[in-house]
Structure 1
């Protein structure tokens, strides 16, 4: 998330940028970064969109969420979007679900928030915006209403 912090510092130095209307959008592990940044930099980021967030420990396969141990960590104003069929088959009997991961993050997020799961979609990240018309419409509506 240090690259996002550097971008925020740079944006603050630009006189033509309305720094009260900054959003962070990320896909996959970048969706996790959008989530973390909304909690670490709430005074700088007005809203965030997380597309197909997911990050699991290599050995444990447990969801990894950076920031949850920080005292001042408070993610809010997040839109989570994910396909219900977006998953990773680790073995024949073990599947990692991006839908479940997004739901896990959404439960820890303060309002305003929304979790949209797109039925019969295995599209991951930005492919949701390319292939699911409703996702693209929702993406722009969220930014319009929350920036």
Structure 2
């Protein structure tokens, strides 16, 4: 059975890094750094869920959105959190393609103001993963 501790550690470090930048006073530089850390955190968080679902639930998902839906099915997220998680994945894709927007400053601002809520979601679900693994222990 695969050990998820390295993935959990990486996810925790990434979320801590995101939380740190969100605690800084706002500036366009802080916003842009937060967007980069958000992008990385969502990617790492999605991989953690993917591995957890495979190892502990016997479910296979290759893409972030199906993984979020499966996390709902196994009780890691409620319906409202799942909707928020799916929106978070969409926002991450926006960040990846932000330079394609003519109004990229506006898009960056909009996403930046939602990152804190996404951080809370990822942190909460990550804690549930830890609890689920410990319960199997």
Place the TM-score, normalised by the shorter chain, in its bin: 0.3 to 0.5
**TM-score, normalization by structure 1:** 0.31
Richer in helix (by share): 2
- The structure with higher relative contact order (CA 8 Å, sep 6+) is 2
Richer in strand (by share): 1
**TM-score, normalization by structure 2:** 0.33
